[in-house]
């Protein structure tokens, strides 16, 4: 599988509205997962927020987004991350190590509820990164 680099937008609680709008602009298929689907929120007010949304267009554009739980700081203008993913674990682990070196790990690279490996860091230049490694034998991987 090829590795992809995608923008990842973060909203307080308007990810679904924004992604629906972007679908009206760019077309494509929009998928949305909520925090409740993965047991990732104990707060009922946040359970229906968007944990992950992905818009994939016929032109190859992939735009991702999520809502941010209220306990997490969100600064407008500081709400874009870069997401790299694929199934080449050695390559992506190497990138993870170099991106996080001298930066700050926000979420260690480890197994999330949806499978594979996932981690978040801020590099030494202040850029936010998400690294997602699919299980080689998993669907889509």
Domain boundaries, the chain: 11-69, 75-141
Kindly report the number of other CB atoms within 10 A of residue 19's CB atom: 23
Q: What is the DSSP letter of 72?
A: S
Radius of gyration for the chain, computed over Cα atoms and rounded to the nearest angstrom: 15
Q: Report how far residue 14's alpha carbon sits from residue 22's, in angstroms, rounded to the nearest whole number.
A: 12
Token digits for 129? Answer: 């990164």
pTM attached to this predicted model? 0.70
Distance of alpha carbon 94 from alpha carbon 102, whole angstroms:
14
Average pLDDT over residues 28-57: 89
pLDDT digits (tens, 9 = 90+) for 87-135: 999 989 999 999 999 999 999 999 998 899 999 998 887 888 999 999 8
Whether 75-141 and 11-69 are alike in CATH topology: the answer is: yes
CATH of 11-69, one of 3.30.110.40, 3.40.50.150, 3.10.180.10, 3.10.580.10: 3.10.180.10
Alpha-carbon distance of 27 to 108, in angstroms, equals 34
Pairing verdict, β 62-67 and 4-11: parallel
Q: What is the CATH code of the structural domain delimited by 75-141?
A: 3.10.180.10
pLDDT at 76: 67
């Amino acid at each position: 599988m090829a590795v992809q680099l995608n923008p990842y937008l973060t909203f307080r609680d308007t990810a679904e509205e924004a992604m629906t709008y972007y679908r009206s602009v760019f077309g494509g298929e929009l998928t949305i997962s909520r925090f409740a689907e993965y047991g990732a929120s104990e707060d009922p007010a946040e359970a229906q927020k968007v944990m992950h949304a992905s818009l994939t267009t016929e032109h190859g554009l992939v735009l991702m987004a999520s809502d941010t739980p209220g306990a997490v700081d969100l600064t407008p203008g500081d709400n874009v991350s870069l997401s790299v993913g694929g199934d080449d674990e050695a390559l992506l682990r190497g990138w993870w190590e170099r991106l996080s070196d001298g930066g700050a790990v926000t979420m260690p690279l480890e197994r999330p509820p949806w499978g594979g490996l996932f981690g978040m860091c801020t590099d030494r230049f202040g850029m936010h990164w998400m690294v997602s490694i699919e299980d080689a034998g998993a669907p889509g991987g």
